[in-house]
Structure 1
Amino acid sequence: MTEASAGKFRIAAIQTVSGPEVEENLAVAADLIAQAAGEGASLIALPEYFPLISPDESAKVRIREAEGRGPIQGFLREAALRHGVWLVGGTLPLVAQADDKVRNSTLVFDDTGRCVARYDKIHLFGFSRGAERYDEAASIEPGAQVTGFDAPMGRVGLSVCYDLRFPELFRAMGAVNLIILPAAFTYTTGKAHWEVLLRARAIENQCYVMAPAQGGQHPGGRVTWGHSMIIDPWGEVVAVLESGPGVVLAEMDIDRIRNVRESLPALRHRCL
C-alpha cells in the first residue's frame, strides 16, 4: 500500500443527466472530463450509469461488455491517457454470470490508461413508494469484494450509490484517504438522506469523500437528486453542484487528514 505523506491534490466529481443514447452520453462525459483536466484535476470520477440511463431495464444488458474489451472501456482508457489523469469510470455494465443480468462495475484507469482496479456494486437498490419503484436485482448481479486502489493521494476506497447506507463496507476498506461513491440517487431518497449519509461516512472514516452523481430529469421521466459533492475529513462540504451537468472541484489536503486524525484519534480508539 502507498500512503501519501504530504501534499495537495486537485480532484473532480463529474455530474451528468444521462439518457438512453450511449454515444451522446460519452460525448457529454468527454467534454466534462476535458473541463476537469483543464482546471487541474489529477483524479476525476464519473457518476453511476454514466453511459446509459434508460426506462428499458434490458438496455443495459444489450450494451454490456466483457472486462478489458468494448467501446465504453475504450473511451475511459483513451480519456485517462489523453489527459494524463486518474479516471474512475463511474459504473458501466459488464458481463455477469447470468445471461440476463450485468455487473454494475466501477473501473479505474491510471494516468497511463492502464486499468488498475475494478469494483462490482455489492448492495442492490430496492425501493417502492406509490408509483415509484426500483429493483436493481432484477437486472444486476451483485459483487462480493471490497475494493480499493493506491494512487498519488494515497489509498482510495470504492463504493457505489446504495452502498452508502451500509457503513460496515467502508470500515472494511481499512484506512483510506479518499472514498469515491458514484451514484444515481433518486430525488426522493436523495433529498432525505444523501448529504447526511455522505458526511457521516467522511466523519466516521476521517477521510475525504467524493460523490459524483446523476442530477436532473432523464428521458423517460426518472429524476435523480444530483448534489455531487466533495466532503473533507471533518465532515464539511467543500464543493457541491445541485443539478445539471457539470464539474465539482476541490483540493484534497493530506495534512488536513493527518490533523483531523491526530486531534481526534477515533480510528485508533476502535474496540470492535
Structure 2
Amino acid sequence: MSEFVAAVIQMRSGRDTGANIAAAASLIREAASAGATYVQTPEMTNLLEKSRADLFAKIAPEGEDTGVAAFSELAKELGIFLHVGSMAIRTSEAKAANRGFLFAPDGSLLARYDKIHMFDVDLPNGESWRESATYGPGEAAVVVGLPQALLGMGICYDIRFPALFRAQAGAGAEILTAPAAFTRQTGEAHWHVLQRARAIENGAFVISAAQGGRHEDGRETYGHSLIVAPWGEVLAEIDHDEPGFALATLDLSQVAEARRRIPAIANQREFSIRQTGRETEAAE
C-alpha cells in the first residue's frame, strides 16, 4: 500500500491523568472514524505538570501505567497504529522517562522511544526549563517498520537536532515524527520552519502532533499540529491552539521522488574540519 491516512491529535493536557487519557481517546476515536489508520498524539499526552513532586505522585512505571494499558486496548479496538507521542513514565525514585509508544492494530507494543535531547534552556521572556532535572535522556534512536513505511520516532526538542533525523532517514525512514509541547514563544518563531526543514532535507514526511493553549500548570504551548510532505508542503495543520485533529493522505511514492530530485542523503560525505584564522598570541 503506497497511500494511507494519518492523523495528528492536538491536546491541552492538564494535571489529571485520567481526564487527559479520556480526552485523547475521544479525539483518537474521531480521527479513526474519519479514516485514519495511523494516529499520533502529542508529547506528554498523559500529564503536563511543572511541580516535580506532584508529577512523581501521579506517574507510574511502564508496566503499571494506566495510559499504556488504555492506549494498547484502544489501538486494538480501533484496529489502528496508535503513536502516543510521549508520556511521563517513572523509571526510578528520582527519574522519569519522556517516552513515546507505538502500538499496533492488535494492541501490541511495536516500539518505545525515550527522548534523547533534554530541553534545558533559559528563554528571553524569563521562562527557564531544566528537563534533565526530572527526566533521564534516551540513548538510542528508533526506526520502526510499519506495513506502509519505516518511521523514525522523535520528541519535541529533538526537532532542533538534524543529525538525529538524518541518521533515521539514512537507515531508511520515510516518515519522521516530532510530537511536541513547544512553548508559545519558540513555536511562534521556529515551529513551522523546523518541521519543513527536517522534511525537505531528508525527503521525508514529518508528522508532529502538538499541545496547545494555556495549561493548568501555567505553561502555554503553541499548538499548530502539522503533517508535512517530503517536498516541504504542509499537507495538514490545526491552525490554532485548541484541541482537535487533522488528517492527511500520505502517498509514500513522494519520498522516492523527492530523494530522486534532490539526492542529499545519497550525496552526503564524511568530512573533517580544518580550523584556520588568526593565531592566538604567544604566551608571555
Q: Same fold (TM over 0.5)?
A: yes
Contact 2:47 2:88 in 1 (8 A): no
Alignment counterpart, residue 236 of structure 1, candidates 233, 255, 265: 233
Residue 137 (structure 2) pairs with residue 139 (structure 1): no
Which position in structure 2 is the counterpart of 1:248? Answer: 246
Contact 1:175 1:205 in 2 (8 A): no
Which SS does the other structure have where 2:59 is aligned?
coil
Which position in structure 1 is the counterpart of 2:88? Answer: 93
Deviation at 1:139, TM superposition (A): 0.8
Structure 2 residue runs of 5 or longer lacking an equivalent are: 271-284
Which position in structure 2 is the counterpart of 1:193? Answer: 190
Using the alignment, how far apart are the partners of 1:204 and 1:157 within structure 2?
15
Deviation at 1:65, TM superposition (A): 2.8
Which SS does the other structure have where 1:20 is aligned?
coil
Contact 2:48 2:217 in 1 (8 A): no
Cα deviation digits, residues 193-247 of structure 1 (max 9, x gap) = 1111111100111010000000111113211011100000001111111211000
Using the alignment, how far apart are the partners of 1:41 and 1:50 within structure 2?
19
Contact 1:104 1:121 in 2 (8 A): yes
Map 1:34-183 to 2 at 5 A: 34-96=29-91, 98-128=92-122, 129-173=124-168, 174-183=171-180
Q: Which amino acid aligns with 1:105?
A: R
Q: Percent identity?
A: 38
Contact 1:61 1:93 in 2 (8 A): no
Q: Which amino acid aligns with 1:86?
A: F
Using the alignment, how far apart are the partners of 2:165 and 2:219 within structure 1?
29
Which SS does the other structure have where 1:93 is aligned?
strand
Which SS does the other structure have where 1:271 is aligned?
coil
Contact 2:65 2:89 in 1 (8 A): no
Deviation at 1:130, TM superposition (A): 4.5
Deviation at 1:172, TM superposition (A): 1.8
Which position in structure 1 is the counterpart of 2:255? Answer: 257
Using the alignment, how far apart are the partners of 2:58 and 2:94 within structure 1?
12
Which position in structure 1 is the counterpart of 2:199? Answer: 202
Contact 1:214 1:224 in 2 (8 A): yes
Contact 2:75 2:82 in 1 (8 A): yes
Cα deviation digits, residues 120-151 of structure 1 (max 9, x gap) = 00101022234311111111111110012100
Which position in structure 1 is the counterpart of 2:214? Answer: 217
Q: Which amino acid aligns with 2:154?
A: S
Using the alignment, how far apart are the partners of 1:110 and 1:139 within structure 2?
29
Number of equivalent positions = 266
Contact 1:180 1:210 in 2 (8 A): yes
Cα deviation digits, residues 147-194 of structure 1 (max 9, x gap) = 121002210000000011111111221221101111000001111111
Using the alignment, how far apart are the partners of 1:193 and 1:73 within structure 2?
31
Which of these two proteins has the greater Rg computed from alpha carbons?
2
Using the alignment, how far apart are the partners of 1:229 and 1:78 within structure 2?
26
Using the alignment, how far apart are the partners of 1:49 and 1:178 within structure 2?
21
Contact 1:60 1:102 in 2 (8 A): no
* RMSD value, Cα: 1.3
Q: Which amino acid aligns with 1:233?
A: P
Structure 1 residue runs of 5 or longer lacking an equivalent are: 1-5
Which position in structure 2 is the counterpart of 1:226? Answer: 223
Using the alignment, how far apart are the partners of 1:130 and 1:212 within structure 2?
25
Which position in structure 2 is the counterpart of 1:3? Answer: none
Alignment counterpart, residue 268 of structure 1, candidates 263, 266, 269: 266
